[in-house]
Amino acid sequence: MSQLTSLIASRTAPFHTFEFFPPRTEAGLVNLLDRIRRLADAPLPAPLAVSVTWGAGGSTADRSLELAEQVVKMGLDVVLHLTCTNMAKEKVDQALGRCRDLGIRNVLALRGDPPRSEEYAVSADPTPDFFKHADDLVRYIRAEHGDWFCIGVAGYPTPHADSENEEDDLHWLKVKCDAGADYIITQLFYDVEGFLEWVKTCISQPIIPGIMPIQNFASFRRLVNLTKCPVPDSIMDELQPISSDDAAVKNYGAQLATKMVAQIIGSKLVPGVHFCTLNLEKSVRTILENLGWSTKADNRPSTSPSPRHNQLIEDDADMTNVKDGVAINGKTRLSPATQMKDLSISPSEASQLAQYGLTHNVLPPAPKAGLGGKSGGVAEDSWDEYPNGRFTDVRSPAYGEIDGWGSGLKITAAQALKEWGTPTDASQLSSLFVSYLDSSPETPTTPFCDLPLSPESASILPHLIALNSTRLQHWTVGSQPAVDAAKSDDPIHGWGPRGGYVFQKAFVEFFVREEEVIRLEEKLKKGDGQITMTNALKDAVNAVTWGVFPGQEISQSTIIEETSFLAWKEEAFDIWTEWSLLYPRQSPARKLLEGIAGEWWLVSLIHHDYKDSEGLWRFLLK
């Protein structure tokens, strides 16, 4: 493996890197590895390196290192992201040691969440092992590992959400570079002229601009709201008329990113770009083809996915007299150039595939066949492209990411305290949720919703307010009304390509006490079978949103089943815990929120008759 700055110095043509995150499911990981191979295979240009993200506080440490190891086995250089705040030094040491074992020479040193010892005031005990800022991590890596690692840091062409102005950002960027950083990868931006002016005022380390293609309108809005990234009015003006057409938005995002990259590379101010893929393939593939960067097949080894049957599991035993090999954990493994890729599979991949098959009693998942594309007859790159929400196909590498759900608070602690106050009993929490539903300016968010209520919720708003009231205390975090054949370009319910029709089953998800769960279960036993509780699902798969479009298979965009519910449930309760940390130990607010995290239940109910728009609400409210 090589250091990134050496790779950059050796290039005479523009380069690109890809960023991926560790999928939440085993099936998602298997499909992501196929996706990475395709994106690294001719005729597409090989990426200079592949970045693997790292969850704040080391929350994805094991999965990030597993993904990094698999990418190394493909013969690709890896940049491992590493956050440092709210994480013990021992965990940083373990990650860096594992990188050295795998031969990974590149890291991206990031702060991660704000340090709790400062921002959370007296809510957490001071811990000397916490790093406070990214420059602390840079210095530590340099002191402990010398020049082994090529260290990158984040740059902000637009002000960081926590900073006051651009001057502060440039100051801290210089501090990180003076601490020993070798290169800079920027946060996303959409103002190219502003970015180029920022580069001219910057420092001498190589700068790699972060490019995030717009995937759909909802995720774009959430992203810019979270990062506080300014968006030129011209982009918003062009997006607004097509906001309900997912295919049009995705195409627009690819064309916009193409123009941005062409302008950036044409300026000669930066040597390459960094694509934030969100684990999706179609947009970045389109951009590379639009730029004319695709190449004819060369002599580099193919990384195309292997057949999923009759494959030889590669031997991990020690091998001797291997001329073309790399050492991993003291064992010698054939490099990708000499492995029989069409006939073999790594033990890790074989285990993942087998585990999925045993769990689901089916053959391991393969990408769905779609319309033919430029990449070779079957559009393997587009089977899970839109929309990707909390309950979409768990086989998708992008599962659960693109709509911004997940553990952790989406706003700063100061903003959270201002908007959510200091609740000390359940009735005050009910008032908070109702205030948000009423679109009160004092409560623009909740810990589970960082954007205003969607227009779709207006049709069921009275029901949601009744559920969240102090009388019922069913605190809703997800819901949708029943929809029977709305046009796909409908401004409220529509999605996907024009000319189609969309359907929805009503569902609602909420937190309740255990005794209410028992009452609901008893009531369901006496019902007509039209309602199911996701908590009780075993291997059942429920499509609750689907669309019928001209010339296409039926698209099931929102799927609720056991695996997805359990994955989200863990992260949902983590949000209660994170919220509790805003308040001092032993305080009434801290105790209340910790009690909910430990004792309440998350319940999801689906009403299967999409022609009965009131069925679910009659069950819950009468």
Among residues 394, 381, 403, which one has the least CA distance to residue 217?
403
- Cα–Cα separations (whole angstroms), residue 17 to 4, 272, 495, 535, 583: 10, 8, 31, 40, 41
What percentage of the chain carries pLDDT values higher than 70? Answer: 79
Neighbouring C-beta atoms of residue 373, cutoff 10 Å: 16
What backbone phi and psi angles, to 5 degrees, belong to 484?
-120, 95
Pairwise pLDDT comparison (389 vs 210), residue with the higher score: 210
Q: What is the pLDDT of residues 112-122, one digit of tens each?
A: 766 554 434 43
Q: Lowest mean pLDDT: which of 228-232, 385-389, 463-467, 568-572?
A: 385-389
Distance, in Å, from the CA atom of 289 to the CA atom of 312, rounded to the nearest integer, reads 34
User: Would you call 585 helix, strand, or coil by DSSP?
Assistant: coil
Cβ-proximal residues to 573 (8 Å cutoff; 6+ apart), any chain: 597, 602
* Confidence band for 537, pLDDT divided at 50, 70 and 90: low
Cβ-proximal residues to 41 (8 Å cutoff; 6+ apart), any chain: 302, 303, 304
Tokens of 320: 């001797």
Tokens of 324: 């073309």
Among residues 193, 191, 92, 69, which one has the least CA distance to residue 145?
92
Q: Which pLDDT value is given to residue 405? A: 52
What percentage of the chain carries pLDDT values higher than 90? Answer: 54
What order of strands is seen across the sheet that includes strand 531-533? Answer: 475-480, 506-512, 601-607, 531-533
* Confidence band for 529, pLDDT divided at 50, 70 and 90: confident
User: What is the Rg, in whole angstroms, of the alpha carbon atoms belonging to the chain?
Assistant: 25
Distance, in Å, from the CA atom of 466 to the CA atom of 480, rounded to the nearest integer, reads 15
Distance, in Å, from the CA atom of 451 to the CA atom of 405, rounded to the nearest integer, reads 12
Q: Which residues lie across from 183 on neighbouring strands?
A: 152
* Angle value at C-alpha 450, between 446 and 456, nearest 5 degrees: 95
Q: Which residues lie across from 17 on neighbouring strands?
A: 49, 274
Give the chain's largest Cα–Cα span.
76
Tokens of 212: 């995030």
* Confidence band for 483, pLDDT divided at 50, 70 and 90: very high
Q: Which residues lie across from 116 on neighbouring strands?
A: none
Q: Which pLDDT value is given to residue 390? A: 55
Q: Count Cα neighbours of 138 within 13 Å in the Cβ-side half-sphere.
A: 25
Q: Which pLDDT value is given to residue 395? A: 80
Q: What is the pLDDT of residues 580-608, one digit of tens each?
A: 989 998 999 999 999 999 999 999 999 99
Q: Calculate the dihedral angle through the C-alpha atoms of 469, 471, 474, 480, rounding to the nearest 10 degrees.
A: -50
Residue 274 confidence (pLDDT) above 80: yes
In the DSSP assignment, the letter for residue 460 is G
Distance, in Å, from the CA atom of 214 to the CA atom of 264, rounded to the nearest integer, reads 17
Residue 3 confidence (pLDDT) above 80: yes
Contacts of the segment 367-375: beta carbons below 8 A, 24+ positions apart: 367/31, 367/34, 371/552, 374/289, 375/38, 375/44, 375/285
Q: Lowest mean pLDDT: which of 143-152, 275-284, 310-319?
A: 310-319
Q: Which pLDDT value is given to residue 122? A: 38
Distance, in Å, from the CA atom of 573 to the CA atom of 569, rounded to the nearest integer, reads 6
Among residues 324, 307, 415, which one has the least CA distance to residue 34?
307
Among residues 30, 60, 29, 54, which one has the least CA distance to residue 570?
60
User: Would you call 353 helix, strand, or coil by DSSP?
Assistant: helix
* Angle value at C-alpha 102, between 96 and 106, nearest 5 degrees: 55
Lookup result for tokens 């005479």: 12
Tokens of 338: 């000499």
Q: Using an 8 Å Cβ cutoff, are 190 and 229 in contact? A: yes
Averaged pLDDT, 501-515 = 95
Residue 338 identity: T
Beta-strand runs (E) in 252-320: 272-276, 312-313
User: Would you call 449 helix, strand, or coil by DSSP?
Assistant: strand
Mean of the per-residue pLDDT values for the chain? 81
Q: Using an 8 Å Cβ cutoff, are 145 and 116 in contact? A: no
Q: Using an 8 Å Cβ cutoff, are 131 and 84 in contact? A: yes
Using DSSP bridges, classify how beta strands 15-20 and 49-52 pair: parallel, antiparallel or unpaired.
parallel
Lookup result for tokens 């008759």: 609
Distance, in Å, from the CA atom of 154 to the CA atom of 183, rounded to the nearest integer, reads 9
Q: Using an 8 Å Cβ cutoff, are 595 and 506 in contact? A: no
Q: Which pLDDT value is given to residue 380? A: 63
**How far does the chain reach from its first CA to its final CA, in angstroms?**
64
Q: Cis omega before residue 47 (within 30°)?
A: no
Residue 23 confidence (pLDDT) above 60: yes
Q: What is the pLDDT of residues 333-380, one digit of tens each?
A: 333 333 344 445 555 545 544 544 444 433 344 333 322 222 333 356
Annotated catalytic sites, by residue?
A: 19
Among residues 268, 277, 272, which one has the least CA distance to residue 293?
272
In the DSSP assignment, the letter for residue 147 is T
Q: Which pLDDT value is given to residue 52? A: 96
